[in-house]
């Protein structure tokens, strides 16, 4: 059984918040899938706008053990 290190947090609603969070943590959830900063930066701008408008980008919060 897999144990995830991160859980989903609140929605990210602006590019400034997305940039800040990626610089700080390096991971976010898009469509219930966790993605690393490198994958996010390679996505098309239009897709990021669409996902952000629909509340699909959420914070990845590291679980405490």
pLDDT digits (tens, 9 = 90+) for 41-65: 999 999 999 999 999 999 999 988 6
User: Where does the pLDDT of residue 2 fall: very low under 50, low under 70, confident under 90, or very high at 90 and above?
Assistant: low
In a domain? residue 36:
yes
In a domain? residue 1:
no
Q: Is 1's pLDDT higher than 70?
A: no
Instruction: List the one residue out of 53, 23, 50, 49 whose CA is nearest residue 38.
Output: 23
Mean pLDDT (the chain) is 91
Give the structural domain span for 18.
Answer: 6-62
Average pLDDT over residues 24-51: 94
Domain count, the chain: 1
In a domain? residue 21:
yes
Q: Is 34's pLDDT higher than 60?
A: yes
Q: Give the helix ranges, DSSP H, for 1-65.
A: 15-24, 37-42, 45-53
Q: How much is the pLDDT for 64? A: 82
């Amino acid at each position: 059984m897999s144990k995830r290190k991160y859980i989903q947090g609140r929605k990210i609603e602006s590019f400034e918040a997305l940039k800040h969070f990626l610089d700080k943590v390096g991971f976010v959830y898009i469509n219930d899938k966790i993605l690393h900063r490198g994958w996010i930066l390679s996505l098309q701008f239009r897709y990021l706008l669409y996902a952000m408008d629909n509340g699909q980008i959420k914070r990845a919060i590291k679980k405490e053990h």
